[in-house]
């Protein structure tokens, strides 16, 4: 989670919403990404999507079976769907997102019968730091 939090801090410095994600396989970080939706403009540039793409390329496989995903914010519906399709084994996320999250809030993607893969889910690791990054980022923009 430390690597993902570092990526989130980098996103904030770049003017992006501070969310970071890391894919870990066999104890090694194989992909690390931050949100990048503004430059270049990309509505799918969420940290999770970017990290999953990098990990798939690193492993030369669309299936990331046995890999873990660490992300600083509860994934949205788009990202949760990608996590399921990638067959991520374990999802760790720091801060909950009551407005846009889709794991324990909103759509609850992994609870739907159409979801063919459900990772093990762990939340709260690094929650205070992730929440403060987000609160500070938005506070500075108001």
Q: Could you give the CA distance from residue 82 to residue 130 in angstroms, rounded to a whole number?
A: 22
Q: 67 near 82, Cβ under 8 Å?
A: no
Sign of the alpha-carbon dihedral angle for 114, 25, 102, 62: negative
Catalytic residue among 48, 74, 127, 129: 48
132 is catalytic: no
Nearest CA to 103 out of 124, 79, 125, 87 is that of 79
Q: Could you give the CA distance from residue 19 to residue 73 in angstroms, rounded to a whole number?
A: 6
Q: Angle at Cα 2 formed by Cα 105 and Cα 110, nearest 5°?
A: 25
Active site residues per annotation: 48
């Amino acid at each position: 989670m430390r690597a993902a939090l570092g990526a989130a801090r980098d996103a904030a410095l770049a003017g992006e919403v501070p969310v970071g994600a890391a894919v870990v396989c066999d104890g090694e970080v194989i992909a690390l990404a931050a949100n990048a939706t503004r430059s270049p403009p990309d509505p799918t540039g969420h940290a999770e999507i970017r990290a999953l793409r990098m990990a798939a390329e690193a492993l030369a496989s669309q299936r990331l079976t046995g890999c873990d995903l660490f992300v600083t914010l509860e994934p949205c519906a788009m990202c949760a769907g990608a996590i399921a399709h990638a067959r991520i084994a374990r999802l760790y996320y720091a801060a909950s997102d009551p407005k846009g999250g889709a794991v324990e809030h909103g759509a609850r993607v992994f609870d739907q019968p159409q979801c063919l893969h459900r990772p093990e889910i762990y939340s709260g690791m690094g929650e205070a730091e992730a929440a403060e990054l987000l609160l500070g980022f938005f506070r500075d923009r108001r």
